[in-house]
Amino acid sequence: MSTKRIGVYICHCGVNIAQTVGIEELKSFAATLPQVKVAENYMYMCSEPGQELIRKDIKEKKLNRIVVVACSPRLHEPTFRNTLVSAGLNPYCLEIANVREQCSWVHKDKKVATSKAKSVVAAAVTKVALLEPLEEKEVSVTKTAMVVGGGIAGIQAALDIADSGFKTYLIEKEPSIGGHMMQLDKTFPTLDCSACILTPKMSDIKNHPNIELLAYSEVADVKGFVGNFKVTVKRKPRYIEEAICNACGTCAKYCSIAIIDRYNEGLSKLQALHIPFPQAIPAAYVVDPEECRYLKEGTCRQCEQVCKELNAINLDMQEESVELDVGTIVVATGFDVFDANRKPELGYGRYENVITGMEFERVVSAAGPNQGELLINGKKPKEVVFIQCVGSRDKTVGNEYCSRVCCMYTAKQAHLVREKLPDAKITIFYIDVRAFGKGYEEFYDRVKGESVYYRRGNVSEVYKKGDKLICRAEDTLLGKPIEVPADLVVLAVGIQPSAGARELGKLLKLSTSPDNFFLEAHPKLRPVDTGSDGVFLAGCCQGPKDIPDTVAQASASAAKAVIPLAQGKVKTETMVARVHEQACRACGYCVEACPYDAIELQLQEVNGREKSVAVVNEVLCKSCGACTGVCFSGAIQQTGFTDDQILAVIGAIGKEY
Ligand SMILES: Cc1cc2nc3c(=O)[nH]c(=O)nc-3n(C[C@H](O)[C@H](O)[C@H](O)COP(=O)(O)OP(=O)(O)OC[C@H]3O[C@@H](n4cnc5c(N)ncnc54)[C@H](O)[C@@H]3O)c2cc1C
């Protein structure tokens, strides 16, 4: 093995490292380690002068391996790899000794921290001497994107990607795009009509030359990697030819089966053959196969008769499978509202006049079941109570997080009650009010000024007394129990991850945070990336958000998704697993252990003999090391973390310094 010329560069990180680790002592120690030719220290090694110090020494002192003694490699490994490249050295001839997180931040005693730092530096020097230069590879990118979920997040992301000039598939599981925003009446804090600001964007989706909308469809399989995903999409049968239907509605007039109208939250009915709502995109009818008499019992087919001329109805339609090649993916699967039945003490499902916030949106909407009149059982309520934090900030239902929109949508809904019923008594029970967005505090103040009575307290029970509901709570400001009568109780149900997202998450290998929303790659620095390269998050699938934040995040995701498409190629992982074919016994444990499906057994010629061996697809390998852990013959090794390297590090760290 050739002699290495190692340089060790110790960062003070201001006082972050220097106040707990003896820098001079560490430097003198590093200089004594085998093959170390230079040991230096600097206030901020990541600064330009710090990096220049390394570059100069590489050139002048002919260093060929570098150890940077600083913070976590998660932060600055890419910075220092670039430093090596700019000095003409292979970027993988670098090792980071993390003495900040591992020594100075976890020890108070300088002696202990310095002694531990010596071990960490000795281990890094031992390892860097065993590293070999590696070659970075690139693969070309399919210049097409896929967005999953057609709520406002998916709509915005698809439009932005398509406007950048790239073909975009938008996959929506429901018969129409629009998501929850389409169900809202007005939107806080500006009180814009929700449908009025959403429908132009929905039309843009339909008319955009770069967008192909696959509604009533779900992703069934995803293979491949960033730049080259192969996606299978299942298209559910609509039983209506989307391209032919002109949404005249004649067929529905002849359909005698009435079903729950989900758009109106079950507060009205429509036909088994229906259009989800008048502004639906695609503007085509759909048949509910669970309810259609022909599809269930084999009789009827009346609708086909009345559409004979256009011939848009096809009750023999079957599910279709479509294969798509895409380079990047935006996940925008949104949310489900909390199921209020899980809080039985609040009377939902038992009393007709206890409704959810989403049901309230439909009740007051001009396009809703009452044409916008606020009627409960045909009567105008005189006393209205809103209860906040239903299913949010509530450990008893497993949702500790704040849903971020309920305080404001409750304020909005209280304002709408005041607008429609000037004499109504309005009470809002709250834990504390979170009015954090632009113009939100001002809107909250405005609503308080409209004789809306905010009472601090959690409602423990809603029960019936005569023809009134009684909300029992403790007013935590007065410190006494109270009972408030109501004709209408509105539960401010929170937001939870969409049930439709779970399977997709598995296919895309997305992690979730403890609240079950999809986890971003870094909460501050990579808020729309995920752990799966080329897959980005937009909207409420990543966590509860209002519309402005959803739209902003969707545009951010689109911008990220466009980068690889615009570049036309992506770098693959360099430190991949490699197989020693002679040692491989083809047991297949590594194939099972690999979470990325990157390994398979193949027949290969090894030393003139055909044998089955594990073969790593280097483009799919994410260098997690799971395969090396289960390989009992040591045939599969992780580049940069081989058994020899790890054992040498353990040997170095175990010594007394
Ligand atoms: C009662 C209530 C009132 C609100 N009022 C306001 C307001 O006034 N102002 C405001 O700013 N915000 C308000 N919000 C918040 C607002 O609704 C959200 O910010 C917004 O809808 C988030 O959009 P999204 O696209 O992320 O999710 P969604 O609207 O949930 O859209 C997600 C879409 O993805 C689809 N989907 C799910 N899974 C899959 C899958 N596997 N494959 C394909 N498609 C899938 C769904 O069918 C849906 O179309 C309110 C929320 C509630 C609950």
Contacts of 303 (CB under 8 A, 6+ apart): 251, 252, 254, 255, 273, 287, 313, 315
pLDDT value of position 656 = 83
Atom of ligand 1 nearest to the CA of 412: 8
Give me ligand 1 centre to Cα 510, in Å.
20
Report the pLDDT averaged over residues 361-379.
93
Give me ligand 1 centre to Cα 375, in Å.
26
pLDDT value of position 620 = 86
Q: How far apart are CA 601 and CA 590, in angstroms?
A: 10
Q: How far apart are CA 321 and CA 170, in angstroms?
A: 15
Give me ligand 1 centre to Cα 497, in Å.
10
Q: pTM, whole model, 2 decimals?
A: 0.91
Regarding the beta carbon of 149 and ligand 1, being less than 6 Å apart is answered yes
Give me ligand 1 centre to Cα 370, in Å.
23
SS3 312: coil
Give me ligand 1 centre to Cα 261, in Å.
18
Match 């040997």 to its residue by tokens: 651
Regarding the beta carbon of 357 and ligand 1, being less than 6 Å apart is answered yes
Q: Inform me whether the pLDDT recorded for 644 exceeds 90.
A: yes
Amino acid in the structure at residue 593: A
SS3 602: strand
Q: How far apart are CA 521 and CA 375, in angstroms?
A: 47
Q: Which of 222, 313, 294, 227 is nearest to 256 (CA)?
A: 294
pLDDT value of position 1 = 58
Longest dimension (CA), the chain: 92
The pair of structure tokens assigned to 569 is 């190629």
Q: Which helix (H) or strand (E) holds 163?
A: helix 152-163
Exposed/middle/buried for residue 197 (C-beta within 10 Å: 0-12, 13-18, 19+): middle
Atom of ligand 1 nearest to the CA of 547: 11
- HSE of 14, CA atoms in CB hemisphere, 13 A: 1
Domains parsed from the chain with CATH numbers: 6-134 (3.40.50), 144-236+319-334+498-569 (3.50.50.60), 237-318 (no CATH), 336-496 (3.50.50.60), 577-638 (3.30.70.20)
- Give the model confidence (pLDDT) of 375-399 as tens digits: 988 899 999 999 999 999 999 999 9
Q: Which helix (H) or strand (E) holds 486?
A: strand 480-486
Give me ligand 1 centre to Cα 269, in Å.
22
pLDDT value of position 633 = 93
Atom of ligand 1 nearest to the CA of 178: 49
Regarding the beta carbon of 125 and ligand 1, being less than 6 Å apart is answered no
Regarding the beta carbon of 152 and ligand 1, being less than 6 Å apart is answered yes
Regarding the beta carbon of 150 and ligand 1, being less than 6 Å apart is answered yes
Give me ligand 1 centre to Cα 614, in Å.
44
Write phi, then psi, for 181 (nearest 5 degrees). Answer: -60, -30
Write phi, then psi, for 626 (nearest 5 degrees). Answer: -60, -35
Query: What is the overall mean pLDDT for the chain?
Result: 96
pLDDT value of position 33 = 97
Report the pLDDT averaged over residues 304-314.
95
Identify whether the C-beta of residue 429 lies closer than 8 Å to the C-beta of residue 387. Answer: yes
Q: Which of 642, 568, 575 is nearest to 136 (CA)?
A: 575
Q: Which of 479, 300, 481, 471 is nearest to 383 (CA)?
A: 471
Regarding the beta carbon of 184 and ligand 1, being less than 6 Å apart is answered yes
Q: Which of 559, 492, 576, 148 is nearest to 326 (CA)?
A: 148
Q: Which of 350, 332, 258 is nearest to 536 (CA)?
A: 332
- Give the model confidence (pLDDT) of 71-119 as tens digits: 999 899 999 999 999 999 999 999 999 999 999 999 999 999 999 999 9
Atom of ligand 1 nearest to the CA of 538: 26
Give me ligand 1 centre to Cα 539, in Å.
8
SS3 360: helix
Regarding the beta carbon of 332 and ligand 1, being less than 6 Å apart is answered yes
The pair of structure tokens assigned to 143 is 């210049």
Exposure letters 340-365 (e unless 16+ CB within 10 A, then b): bebbeebbbeebebbbbbbbbbbbbb
Taking CA atoms only, the protein residue closest to ligand 1 atom 4 is: 409
Pocket test for ligand 1, best of 264, 546, 553, 557 (most atoms within 8 A of CB): 546
- Give the model confidence (pLDDT) of 562-589 as tens digits: 999 999 999 988 999 999 999 999 999 9
Write phi, then psi, for 639 (nearest 5 degrees). Answer: -55, 135
What is the total residue count of the chain?
A: 657
Pocket test for ligand 1, best of 180, 192, 434 (most atoms within 8 A of CB): 180
Taking CA atoms only, the protein residue closest to ligand 1 atom 34 is: 149
Report the pLDDT averaged over residues 345-358.
97
Regarding the beta carbon of 409 and ligand 1, being less than 6 Å apart is answered yes
Give me ligand 1 centre to Cα 179, in Å.
5
pLDDT value of position 573 = 87
Amino acid in the structure at residue 189: P
Q: How confident is the model at residue 50 (pLDDT cuts 50, 70, 90)?
A: very high
Percent of the chain residues past pLDDT 70, beyond the cut: 100
- For helices 110-130 and 23-31, angle between their N-to-C axes, nearest 10 degrees: 30
Q: Which helix (H) or strand (E) holds 562?
A: helix 547-567
Identify whether the C-beta of residue 612 lies closer than 8 Å to the C-beta of residue 601. Answer: yes
- Give the model confidence (pLDDT) of 407-430 as tens digits: 999 999 999 999 999 999 999 999
- Give the model confidence (pLDDT) of 486-511 as tens digits: 999 999 999 999 998 999 999 999 99
Percent of the chain residues past pLDDT 90, beyond the cut: 95
Taking CA atoms only, the protein residue closest to ligand 1 atom 28 is: 334
> Tell me, what DSSP letter sits at residue 307?
T
Taking CA atoms only, the protein residue closest to ligand 1 atom 31 is: 151
Report the pLDDT averaged over residues 227-247.
97
- Give the model confidence (pLDDT) of 430-485 as tens digits: 999 999 999 999 999 999 999 999 999 999 999 999 999 999 999 999 999 999 99
Give me ligand 1 centre to Cα 581, in Å.
51
